[in-house]
Structure 1
Amino acid sequence: MLKDLFLLGFIGLLLLLGLKRPFIWVLAYIYIDIVAPQKIGWGLIQSFQLSLITFVAAFAGWLLLDSKVGSRFTFRQALILVLLAWCGMTTLGAEFQDSAWAKWDWVWKALIFAAFLPLTLRTKLRIEAAVTFIVLAVGTIAINGGIKTVFGGGGYGELRLLADENSGMYEGSIISTVAIATIPLALWVARHTSIFPRHWTTWAFTAGLVFACLLIPVGTSARTGLICILVLFVLLLRSVRYRFLYAGAASLAMMAAVPFLPQEYVERMETIVGFRGDQSASTRLVVWQWTIDYAKEHPLGGGFDAYRANSFTYNTVVTTGEGAMRRVEYREVTETARAYHSSYFELLGEQGYFGLAVWLLLQGLGVWHMESLRRRFRRRDGDNRSWQWGLATALQQAHLVYLVGAVFVGIAYQPFLFMLVGLQCALWSYVQRVEGREWRAKLTGKPRPSPAMA
């Protein structure tokens, strides 16, 4: 009961503050969409539709009370609406209506909010506030999981986070991917924050948060998390100043960490190489082949949860015994209604070729836009790295880590991904608007506008 009252008090405070600054309602929705406090509590809090309340408040606040100066609608926001309309159409004709509409209930909100978010992020301060709230919301889950991992509460399917369930942000592979993707955003906030003091305490908290995020794949024993860590390590090589020093320090840290890793985690990571002996990995390959065949028969997609139509039998390699008594044999396995375990095949099976193409275009444009901004500000500022360069780099790194993790996890519609897309649209629009004003100011000789107020 005390937990419920604390959570409701915090949310109530955000709603009250929003009466003076409506943008705070947008931040409240970000917090609720990621942390899902209604799933953490046990009683009173579950009687409130917190997500719906803050969702409506965010839209109404912007529409009725907030300034629209500087709000722009980009091509990628239009793509989000196209994807939304296509998902709605495939849901109407979905093979499994009950589960399809259940998934639609949260997917449409993630897409609508992603298209809406850039309209509210008109200034640097607002962009920074949104990034900070995302980092702290993910950190709320990651710090809890990191502490439990340190004290031995981890294991595949055993790590209990804030909410005792195995879906959404509280599913092991999903939170592992999201936690690692959040690291570059956390580092950007620490470097460029104007919300918190630039003090050693800010960096100390950031270091603790990064460590907690790195512990999540260990606590969940999620193989996807290890792959995401390796991808992030490579991506950071592009942006750090002293690459050899970074590579050496990171390698030493990884070697030093190995003796302290749980044996269960090490054994599970070894199955990445010997995947044919792992039933979970073998199933994914068969499901992916089934999805390709299914898309040939249903090129427009089968709607949400179309995977429930699959059924197949295959052989998996099983090793028994040790040493001289070790035996390798093939075991026949029959599976039905197995999930895609890949965002790309999830899109192909549910939304068909067109839906997958729109989704890929949306993601590809995001990576390209951030690379374009990186190059623009690198040419302009050289080694004096601006906050715009830093944020474009962090968003690109977070996005690429997520997209790699998405190869092995069905997270194509997760709100976190579309919040990244919304932030990218906002930064792209902000730079185009402010840079255009500065160029016109040079021509006319007028003073340049303040970046915080632009």
Structure 2
Amino acid sequence: MTDLALLLFIVAFLVLGLKRSFIWVLLYIYIDTLAPQTIGWRFVAALPVSLIAFCAAFGGWLLVDNKKGAQFAFRQWLLVALLAYCAFTTFGADFPAEAAHKWSWVWKALLFAIFVPLTLTTRLRFEAVLLTMVLTAGAIIIDGGMKTATGGGGYGVLSLFVNDNSGMYESSTISTVAIAIIPTILWLVKYGTIFRPDWRVKTFAGALIFSCLLMPIGTQARTGLLCIALLGILMLRDTRRRFLYIAGAGLLGMAALPFVPQSYWDRMNTIEDHKEDESASTRLAVWQWTIDYAAEHPLGGGFDAYRGNSFTYRMPQRVDDGTGESVRMTTVTDKGRAYHSAVFEMLGEQGYPGITLWLWIHALGLWQMERIRRRWRGRTAEHEAWQAPLAVALQFGQAIYLLGSLFQGIAYQPFILTLVGVQCALWTYCKRTDSQKPESPRAAQRRRRARAGQNAVAAQAGALR
């Protein structure tokens, strides 16, 4: 029944897209996030539903969608450059077969991030994309939250819709995404028009946020704890009643304590005692290897270049010899270990050009969202009040992702790249709206005075000649 329900849902979206082709964009986001082809076992799994939705989204926009207001932003050109460079390194990759496999989905994620801003030309479309992203990721998060609340969590063992610890279903990734979408959930509750913010919407949003906060507990991902801390700090900036906010955060934390098993605290303690944690020690060794590799291969080694690493390091290990605990140094030899960091992933695979483009794309996003926040804040008109809060939500979500990406290889995560595409669309939308806005009487008066002053100076210069 689950397989048939998923198939009928996808077919229904395809049919609805015949009247409104933008729906196919939403369908691709849904499929790319939830991966229903891995949940189903027969009909959905047998069909290339992701490719069908991908082609429908692009074809619908090219053939029938209204392209009024569509603009190509500078960050989209940077994404084009990154896409081209990834293609270049793939052809000369150290491991051609593995690189080709990763390229098969990375190019779609980058291309969709370049494409989606062209479709977001109205407030309704912005909201529809964000709502689809939140609800689709929310389906995974609610599933994980319920299992965490009933004691089914654990590092690497929290079973979500599929028994596959990769993509959006990877423990650290879903924990990072869960915290990153909380600002967007709050924005939808306050400024949403598809679902008006009544008591039902607010109740659901509150439960979803609580599930988001439970995900780092259920997955026992250390990265999630850092993301929660960063979210708390970021939200202090725009909070008027800060003492009330801090008290509420404390109460929410206390409410989550009954769901926290002892194994969670044991794992969180390794953040402080990272030198005695083999996972952390391995990451430090991989990062050092990547730095040395980039020095010898400045253009990168292509996707999955980490497969060529090999290193030996020493780490302390506690040993109980019967008379008490002692710490001994042990030698660990490892090879073919993943980067466990988006920064080093980009550095090792795409070299210095790739890491420069990647950092430029994200730094420019943070700066542009801050520009929108400062320019549009304080506006109270219905059609102008939502832009600045949305920029803040996207900025916070990106900042949380960047923190989480320091400890996991998610440089090309499709969900986050779509978020980058929404940022590009908001930047061009605000620029276009500002340019079309009628000039205020005060600004017109200042312009006339400046022009009169320029004319007076020109007249005096003519008289002197």
TM-score by length of 1: 0.94
Alignment of 1:211-290 (within 5 A): 211-255=210-254, 257-258=256-257, 260-290=259-289
**How far apart in 2 are the matches of 1:202 and 1:45?**
31
- Name the residue aligned to 2:361: 362
**How far apart in 1 are the matches of 2:252 and 2:170?**
27
Counterpart AA for 1:341: H
**How far apart in 1 are the matches of 2:71 and 2:155?**
44
Is residue 214–residue 256 contact of structure 2 (8 Å, CA) maintained in 1?
no
Task: Provide, for residues 199-225 of structure 1, a one-character-per-residue CA deviation record: whole Å limited to 9, x for no partner.
Answer: 100000001111111111111110011
User: Is residue 409 of structure 2 the alignment partner of residue 410 of structure 1?
Assistant: yes
- Percent of aligned pairs sharing the same letter: 55
Structure 1 unaligned segments of length 5 or more: list them.
Answer: 445-454
**How far apart in 2 are the matches of 1:441 and 1:37?**
51
**How far apart in 1 are the matches of 2:322 and 2:148?**
32
Is residue 181–residue 402 contact of structure 1 (8 Å, CA) maintained in 2?
yes
The verdict on how the C-alpha distance between 1:167 and 1:260 changes in structure 2, with shifts beyond 3 A counting, is closer
Counterpart AA for 2:10: I
Is residue 94–residue 305 contact of structure 2 (8 Å, CA) maintained in 1?
yes
**How far apart in 2 are the matches of 1:394 and 1:277?**
37
- Name the residue aligned to 1:451: none
Aligned to 1:271, the other structure's residue is in SS state helix
The verdict on how the C-alpha distance between 1:322 and 1:153 changes in structure 2, with shifts beyond 3 A counting, is farther
- Name the residue aligned to 1:423: 422
Structure 1 position 254, deviation (Å): 2.2
The verdict on how the C-alpha distance between 1:222 and 1:385 changes in structure 2, with shifts beyond 3 A counting, is farther
**How far apart in 2 are the matches of 1:16 and 1:58?**
13
Alignment of 1:17-416 (within 5 A): 17-255=16-254, 257-258=256-257, 260-321=259-320, 325-378=324-377, 380=379, 386-416=385-415
Is residue 96–residue 306 contact of structure 1 (8 Å, CA) maintained in 2?
yes
Structure 1 position 259, deviation (Å): 5.4
- Name the residue aligned to 2:457: none
**How far apart in 1 are the matches of 2:440 and 2:116?**
28
Structure 1 position 245, deviation (Å): 1.0
**How far apart in 2 are the matches of 1:259 and 1:41?**
34
**How far apart in 1 are the matches of 2:30 and 2:170?**
18
Counterpart AA for 2:119: T
Moved more, 91-100 or 148-157: 148-157
**How far apart in 2 are the matches of 1:30 and 1:323?**
57
Counterpart AA for 1:108: W
Aligned to 2:423, the other structure's residue is in SS state helix
Aligned to 1:335, the other structure's residue is in SS state strand
**How far apart in 1 are the matches of 2:330 and 2:112?**
47
Counterpart AA for 1:47: A
**How far apart in 2 are the matches of 1:333 and 1:385?**
58
Structure 1 position 322, deviation (Å): 10
Task: Provide, for residues 176-203 of structure 1, a one-character-per-residue CA deviation record: whole Å limited to 9, x for no partner.
Answer: 1111101111111111110012210000
**How far apart in 1 are the matches of 2:269 and 2:282?**
17
Counterpart AA for 2:22: F
Counterpart AA for 1:34: T
**How far apart in 2 are the matches of 1:385 and 1:20?**
29
Task: Provide, for residues 327-354 of structure 1, a one-character-per-residue CA deviation record: whole Å limited to 9, x for no partner.
Answer: 2111111111000000000000000001
**How far apart in 2 are the matches of 1:317 and 1:388?**
52
Structure 2 unaligned segments of length 5 or more: list them.
Answer: 445-465
Counterpart AA for 2:59: A
Is residue 239–residue 393 contact of structure 1 (8 Å, CA) maintained in 2?
no
Structure 1 position 265, deviation (Å): 0.6
Structure 1 position 66, deviation (Å): 0.4
How many residues matched?
Answer: 442
Is residue 74–residue 429 contact of structure 1 (8 Å, CA) maintained in 2?
yes
Is residue 118–residue 425 contact of structure 1 (8 Å, CA) maintained in 2?
yes
- Name the residue aligned to 1:449: none
**How far apart in 1 are the matches of 2:348 and 2:144?**
33
Counterpart AA for 1:88: A
Aligned to 2:377, the other structure's residue is in SS state helix
**How far apart in 1 are the matches of 2:252 and 2:26?**
35
Structure 1 position 315, deviation (Å): 1.0
**How far apart in 2 are the matches of 1:59 and 1:128?**
20
- Name the residue aligned to 1:434: 433
Moved more, 192-201 or 241-250: 241-250
Aligned to 2:271, the other structure's residue is in SS state coil
**How far apart in 1 are the matches of 2:160 and 2:259?**
22
Is residue 151–residue 259 contact of structure 2 (8 Å, CA) maintained in 1?
no
Larger Rg: 2
TM-score by length of 2: 0.92
Structure 1 position 260, deviation (Å): 4.2
**How far apart in 2 are the matches of 1:225 and 1:42?**
31
The verdict on how the C-alpha distance between 1:261 and 1:389 changes in structure 2, with shifts beyond 3 A counting, is same
The verdict on how the C-alpha distance between 1:324 and 1:111 changes in structure 2, with shifts beyond 3 A counting, is same
Structure 1 position 380, deviation (Å): 4.5
**How far apart in 2 are the matches of 1:145 and 1:258?**
17
Aligned to 2:146, the other structure's residue is in SS state helix
